[in-house]
Amino acid sequence: MALKIGRIEGADLRVVEVAALLHDIGRREEDKSEGLVCHARISAEKSRKLLAKYKFTINEVDNIIHSILSHRFRNNHEPQTIEAKVLYDADKLDSIGAIGIGRDFQFAGEVGARLYNFDRLNAYKTKVYSEEDTAWREYVVKLSKIKDRIATKSGKRIAAERHQFMVNFFRQFWREVDGRK
């Protein structure tokens, strides 16, 4: 996805490809710390050391590191370069649409959450990472807002289509839960 968007947006594909390959290498440390450390920061630190072994210019390394640092939804680094915006968008697009819904339900199952909770209007009040949690809560709290945070024109087009798929999916989901379908 990053290369597809990068081609359309005129990004440096070498920077995009390397950043895409390395952007989550710190995920394991974040998971071990139960979220106390930021995987984007760890990934950037590991990547800088790794990239020193290869023939990259200082500007390429700085852009790769910036792209990795700013790909995360929940940190203070805004993507400034087109390459960082491309990686950011590709990473976010992976969490919406059909793939996003699949990941959403998989994660809910992983933490022992329910398939659904009849009190769907109070999704914000549901305790995260608990039996009360649901894929619906993740959609309401996070996934439904992603399309508005996409940075590139081509990413926005893809996000609009994927967002509409999620809207339709959850509309059908609740019809079935309510016994209307």
pLDDT tens for residues 37-94? 778 788 888 889 989 999 999 999 999 999 988 887 666 788 889 999 999 999 999 9
For the residues 15-39, what does the mean pLDDT come to?
A: 82
CATH number of 95-181, picked from 3.10.20.30, 3.40.980.10, 1.20.58.1910, 3.30.450.90: 1.20.58.1910
Q: How confident is the model at residue 169 (pLDDT cuts 50, 70, 90)?
A: very high
What predicted TM-score, i.e. pTM, was given to this entire model? Answer: 0.85
Q: How confident is the model at residue 122 (pLDDT cuts 50, 70, 90)?
A: low
Residue 102: how many other CB atoms lie within 10 Å: 11
Q: Which residues, including other chains, have CB under 8 Å from residue 32's CB and lie 6 or more apart? A: none
CA pair distance 127, 48, nearest whole angstrom: 37
Q: Where are the domains of the chain?
A: 1-81, 95-181
**Burial level of 134, CB count in 10 A (0-12/13-18/19+)?**
buried
Q: Of the ranges 36-50, 99-113, 147-161, which one carries the lowest mean pLDDT score?
A: 36-50
**Domain formed by 1-81, architecture:** Orthogonal Bundle (1.10)
The answer to whether domain 1-81 and domain 95-181 are alike in fold is no
